[in-house]
Chain A
Amino acid sequence: MHEYSLACNIIEHVISVAELNNAKAVNTITIGVGKLTLVNPDQILFCLEALTADTIAQGTEFVLLDIFPDMECECGYSGNSEHLLKDSGRYMNDIMAFLEIPCPTCGKIMHELGGRDLVIQSIDIEQ
């Protein structure tokens, strides 16, 4: 349950960038969330909305995008987890699924590269 402090960090950063750019309003904030980040999207959205009240970002639209980690196998195979999971038919919101993806070439369990992101990708402002 660290969504609140992460949301604080995000809004602090967004407002400072917006002010540096003489923004009158922030219309959209796009945030990338790694599939292995232990953050609940609904909770962070709730915190973000609460924190933007009475700021220049009030009423902004939040766009949360999934970041699917790349996977690599000791045999040398690598690929993105989104396609690999789609092919396997596993439920993609289950963290375990990302830790158990077998290599399509040799069948060994692959290692994830990243996926623990929480990144402010862009903001759309009015000047």
Chain B
Amino acid sequence: MLMHVINIGHDVLKANDKLAEKNKKFLEKNGVFAINIMGAIGSGKTTLIEKAVTKLGEKFRIAVIAGDVVADMDAGRIAKLGVTTIPVNTGRECHLDAKLVEKALKSIDLKNVDLLLMENVGNLICPADYRLGEHMRVVVVSVTEGDDIVLKHPVIFKTADLAVIHKKDLAEAVFASAEKMEHDVRELNATIPILKTSIHDSVSMEQWFSMISTSVESLKKG
């Protein structure tokens, strides 16, 4: 009998990062700007995507990847707006990963897309560990989740490029403070842009659209 130690050094999470980098290069080759939209169940991700698709559809050619554990309701809602929508069922998984996105990209005509919106599975924990190949990571959090939700999930706010504190019009009804949430995000991430939004406040919706629009255009300019 021979005993033998084999050094491996294989990082299963970095394997995902590598694939994500490949996805990103592939998207860039096709001139596509990709956004990973993360947030809890019911935070308002799908609604924010619907609004963005409706408004920015005049300006950009948009495709959407809608991640869900089993159902395809979100994809159905977005597809009604007339954009290419790929439902991705993760099965038992709590997040999208680079492999699922690589597969979904094969069914999108990327040459005719400027902006790809990827709606992650509703969850503030697992998506933080997985890059997909995105240029921008957006975390959506609603005041109805309770205003201590930000500090309970520090990693996702540290690694995001934009924080959206949504449903701000409901704050009073649920005894939450959007300002406290904004302060907590700022504590965790000194440079992240923060939007406080509500679909009933058109000024805040314009800020959401313009944040996306500016980012897409900055990629186009190189």
* A binding-site residues for B, Cβ under 8 Å: 1-2, 4-6, 9-10, 13-14, 17-18, 21, 23-24, 27, 36-39, 95-96, 99, 116-127
Count of A-B residue pairs with CB < 8 Å: 89
Within 8 A of A (CB), among B1-37: 1-15
* B binding-site residues for A, Cβ under 8 Å: 1-15, 92-95, 125-126, 128-130, 151, 154-155, 158, 188
Within 8 Å by CB of A37, from B13, B15, B154, lies B13
The closest CB in chain A to the CB of B125 belongs to A38
A1 → B minimal CB distance (Å): 5
Q: How far is the CA of A6 from the CA of B6 in the complex (A)?
A: 20
Q: How far is the CA of A122 from the CA of B3 in the complex (A)?
A: 13
Are A2 and B129 in touch, CB under 8 angstroms? yes
Q: How far is the CA of A118 from the CA of B16 in the complex (A)?
A: 11
Within 8 Å by CB of A126, from B1, B13, B15, lies B1
Q: How far is the CA of A96 from the CA of B142 in the complex (A)?
A: 21
In the complex where A37-B129, A116-B129 touch, is A96 in contact with B6 (Cβ < 8 A)?
no
Within 8 Å by CB of A1, from B11, B94, B151, B188, lies B94
Are B9 and A119 in touch, CB under 8 angstroms? yes
Interface of B is mostly: mixed
New A-B pairs, 13, CB < 8 Å, besides A99-B154, A123-B5, A125-B4: A1-B126, A2-B126, A14-B8, A95-B154, A116-B13, A117-B13, A117-B14, A119-B10, A119-B11, A120-B11, A121-B8, A125-B5, A126-B2
In the complex where A2-B93, A38-B126, A127-B4 touch, is A120 in contact with B158 (Cβ < 8 A)?
no
Within 8 Å by CB of B92, from A4, A10, A118, A119, lies A4
What residues on B are CB-neighbors of A127 within 8 Å? 1-4
Q: How far is the CA of A88 from the CA of B209 in the complex (A)?
A: 44
The closest CB in chain A to the CB of B92 belongs to A4
Q: How far is the CA of A127 from the CA of B1 in the complex (A)?
A: 6
Q: How far is the CA of A71 from the CA of B10 in the complex (A)?
A: 23
Are A96 and B3 in touch, CB under 8 angstroms? no
The closest CB in chain A to the CB of B13 belongs to A118
Q: How far is the CA of A50 from the CA of B176 in the complex (A)?
A: 43
Are B155 and A36 in touch, CB under 8 angstroms? yes
B7 → A minimal CB distance (Å): 5
23 A-B residue pairings within 8 Å (CB atoms):
A2-B94, A2-B126, A18-B6, A21-B4, A21-B6, A37-B13, A37-B129, A38-B128, A38-B129, A96-B154, A99-B158, A117-B11, A117-B14, A118-B12, A119-B9, A120-B9, A120-B10, A123-B8, A124-B3, A124-B6, A125-B3, A125-B4, A126-B2
Q: How far is the CA of A9 from the CA of B14 in the complex (A)?
A: 12
Are B154 and A17 in touch, CB under 8 angstroms? no
What residues on A are CB-neighbors of B151 within 8 Å? 96
Are B8 and A122 in touch, CB under 8 angstroms? yes
